[in-house]
Amino acid sequence: MSDILNEVLAANEEYSAHFGDKAHLPLPPKRRFAILTCMDARLDPAKFAGLAEGDAHVIRNAGGRASDDAIRSLIISYKLLGTKEWFVIHHTDCGMETFTNDVIRQLLSNSLETAEFDGQNWKDVGRGPGSKEGEYIEFLPIRNLKQSVIDDVERIRSHPLVPNYIPIYGFIYDVKSGRLVEVPEATRIGQAVTI
Ligand code: ZN
């Protein structure tokens, strides 16, 4: 068995041995909010936002982008599970700023092995064959961090299946300080319309 597999199963054994009251948590998130953020390994929403099991929905993908699938989750989050406030949190030094659709498509067309990044450019070092399937995927890379938060809040805000009473807050998480920095324009666009 791989080391990682062993480590994960051992950690889980320990976790479940002290599971306690969490057995009785209800399905809907107790604090009624959701976070959409990046999958970056340096971000731990439970820690940086003070979450315990059962508190909130955390939806993660590469970049924390408002993809169709992220919006699918947010819709389920409010419609079936009662969340009332949402956060979109992108972060500094995001890998999604290091490439374009063309770049990753080119890398994938060369090979399916992990490419190398020299701090400026990506280079494919694998042996082929790759695949042209990347041409059909929108990878949602980020050109401008602040703008990507604004764009994603705007997209969620204007989605026909998202009700206008849910406020959507826009933030950038700073990987150097662990601090959440608001993007005021995003939060302004995301504000709820209360009637
Ligand atoms: Zn990221």
What's the 187 CA to ligand 1 centre distance in angstroms?
A: 20
Percent of the chain clearing pLDDT 90 (strictly above) = 98
Q: pLDDT class for 16, splitting at 50, 70, 90?
A: very high
Beta strands in 39-175 (DSSP E): 57-61, 85-91, 116-117, 122-123, 168-173
Supply the mean pLDDT for the chain. 97
pTM of the model: 0.96
CATH no. for 28-97+140-195? 3.40.1050.10
pLDDT of residue 172: 98
Token pair recorded at residue 86: 């949402």
pLDDT of residue 194: 76
What's the 157 CA to ligand 1 centre distance in angstroms?
A: 22
What's the 82 CA to ligand 1 centre distance in angstroms?
A: 27
Over the stretch 133-171, which tens digit does the pLDDT of each residue have?
A: 999 999 999 999 999 999 999 999 999 999 999 999 999
What's the 70 CA to ligand 1 centre distance in angstroms?
A: 15
Find out whether 89 and 64 touch, Cβ atoms under 8 Å.
Answer: yes
What's the 83 CA to ligand 1 centre distance in angstroms?
A: 24
Check whether the bond before 184 is cis (ω within 30° of 0). no
Over the stretch 49-63, which tens digit does the pLDDT of each residue have?
A: 999 999 999 999 999
The yes-or-no verdict on residue 195 having pLDDT over 90 is no
Domain boundaries, the chain: 28-97+140-195, 100-138
What's the 59 CA to ligand 1 centre distance in angstroms?
A: 13
What's the 46 CA to ligand 1 centre distance in angstroms?
A: 16
